[in-house]
Structure 1
């Protein structure tokens, strides 16, 4: 008798993006497992990676949809646990080395820079004085935490801010950060783009249109999704950016500026809601199909 494939979803139980991906896999295979990494136990003595009685080492694959609610150095510990299963032959989507590079903003930025991807002007230093000088040189600047998503923890500084305000902001930032990551702001037209790729292949692009009362365009700050039709050059920029990593599913954040397009970042995981609401595409379904095909499995049986 042929066995049905078993693919687990690493995510946040109850969250829409996690659950919809598990739904799409269950529709195809009959198997469903949503795995909360805070409850996983690595048993080195028995070579098991356990979650609520399920040994993840016995699965055909694991999709890392969301490894933690918020990013932190502890997130990297979870990646190490998953790499144990990966080294034993369980397929990981995306590979743990790629996810690890992107969880930390600095390592992710360096990969883009080495790939000659256009980015906003960026400086990194441990020196408070160097950071102050950089903020003043940039005029408008954003202090970005090394571990964050959806603009959480970012501090924007403008030429109108006094020296005292800037220094206070730098001090506040350093309470939680080991190094200053400073990026010059770019002029947006009220939107930025999310370009979606599955297995390195282009799927669609949506725009995040900002709330006029917020400085960023994130949905958390009142933004909304709209369809965007990029030209071939812009798609190629997104393709080059995501190719700096080895990602199974990702969203490339791109801004259109008067200096040309720039890449803000490449997501370690990427979301499904922008593709659904902006492009009317079920990216979770497309991703589930890609994962099953990558495992050499048909939708419901395996050799």
Structure 2
């Protein structure tokens, strides 16, 4: 038992948030779950307060989930936490690391600059260019810049006919002025989550589609299964997560006929997939990592 005060930024009542808070409480005797919707940043008094607790007075904060759904407002919450970080609070992962991931395009550009293999990608505000890209790819997945668990993603097929395709693209553009689309790749109903703690590889789980859906997310009926990758695949995922310098993350990997591709690096990583698919108690390991970091 230590006298450290380490809070968890997350969604109160959600399993991943609470299990991490449990693990930290078991080691420190202190429990603080922060919902950023309740936080107040008081610059005059140099305080960030949530539920009566000045977060700037804590030893550490672990960002397990910044909001239920990603949006530009998520960036504002991170900026509030960046102030606490400037006040000396150790934050896991650092706000600058997460700021580079919440926006899908920012993550993609960093991966591309690092030479990481990804599906063919087009980003545009132009409907004609988006339509041409779908036809060139044969099919594409349109992805909101701010989303998790495949929410808001739309599959566009080149064989739908140009008039139908243009209408679907125009409808997508209403809510997504900057359109991000990736070539639809054949994953044979399976993709991977590769788990890293402090840059060290922990293990891999597979997400397997069960309902005939084109995506494998648990939200759309997928399930977790164990998976053992080869050393080359581990090295690819390690290189993908390295530029972000995250304390905990999951790298989403697709296995295609042309080789593996990286879809994204998670800002927060998934505990449930790690536990159910790879028998990794990520909450306990992460809690120990955080305490060691704060104590150093």
2:227 corresponding residue in structure 1 = 228
Match of residue 301 from structure 1: none
2:32 aligns with 33
- Structure 1 range deviating more: 86-95 or 162-171: 162-171
Cα displacement (A) at 1:145: 0.4
Instruction: Give distance in 1, aligned partners of 2:42 and 2:93.
Output: 23
In structure 2, the residue matched to 1:68 is 67
Q: Spell out, residue by residue over 1:245-274, the C-alpha distance to the aligned partner (whole angstroms, 9 max, x if none).
A: 110100000011110000000000011001
Deviation at 1:159, TM superposition (A): 2.8
The match for 2:113 is 114
Aligned to 1:152: 151
CA distance in 2, matches of 1:93, 1:232: 28
Q: How far off its partner does 1:3 sit? A: 6.2
Give unpaired runs (5+ residues) of structure 2: none
Q: Counterpart of 1:162?
A: 161
Give the structure, 1 or 2, with the largest relative contact order (CA under 8 Å, sep 6 or more). Answer: 1
Which structure 1 residue ranges, 4+ long, deviate > 3 Å from structure 2?
none
When structure 1 is superposed on structure 2, of 281-290 and 168-177 the one drifting more is 168-177
Structure with higher helix content: 2
Query: Equivalent residues in 2 for 1:261-280 (5 A)?
Result: 261-280=260-279
Cross-structure match for 1:53: 52
Residue 76 of structure 1: how far off its partner (Å): 0.4
| Matched residue, 2:191 | 192
Partner of 1:254: 253
TM-score by length of 1: 0.96
Provide the rounded CA distance (Å) in 1 between the counterparts of 2:292 and 2:126: 49
Deviation, 1:178, is 2.4
1:300 matched residue in structure 2: none
Q: 1:212, 1:42 → 2: CA distance?
A: 45
Q: CA RMSD in A?
A: 1.1
C-alpha deviations, 1:98-128, integer Å up to 9, x for none?
1111100000100000110000000111111
**Any stretches of 5+ residues in structure 1 without a counterpart?**
298-303
